[in-house]
Structure 1
């Protein structure tokens, strides 16, 4: 597939890669110095990841914990800054460890420069997927 040509197309492509559980290809959509932030990160979780390598390491185990199956609701809002999007979406699937349903709404503020993600502020609630003894970040 050729590289997406707009920030909205890149974002939609990134969601397809997450559904395909292709975290390596998803990570390749990032600029080397990209920053991912989690404003609602609970204590002990990272609030900020700096660089493509750190973002990829954080996301690597994601499919082992959350089996995303669809994004049935997706609204991509363009802003007055053409490289920045505000995204509202809902992700559904299941928690791998327990088989319990996963149903999460997200709001993200995403900036794309040169066809790569440079900034991603992810406003999701990680407390909704925390299980006693589970650590999404380390594969436990």
Structure 2
């Protein structure tokens, strides 16, 4: 803080020198900008281009896991017990070369139910998990 001596009447002038405060502000701004770049995290997602509803539904040779309310699972319309989902998927995908699974969730289920189905499929050896959008599920 600088202070001028003198003046017209011989007294001190008590004005704040703004230059050091602006310098500190600019240094802090640069530091926060650099730190912000390091804090950005994300999940890489491949999103296909939008297509017609008919082309979004997977072909018959692909496996579709339907997650329904009440902990019910259907693999290509065949029921799977909830406690044996990972085990059943591991058995099915052990014989397949292409380890791709499409997951279709009902509208009324919680997001966590779909996530647990995806986690079980990844633990069973599925390499690519695709989510079927609601428009294609209708």
TM-score higher than 0.5: no
| TM-score, normalisation: structure 2 | 0.23
By percentage of residues, which structure has more strand?
A: 1
Greater Rg by CA? 2
| TM-score, normalisation: structure 1 | 0.23
By percentage of residues, which structure has more helix?
A: 2
Q: Which has the higher contact order (CA 8 A, sep 6+)?
A: 1
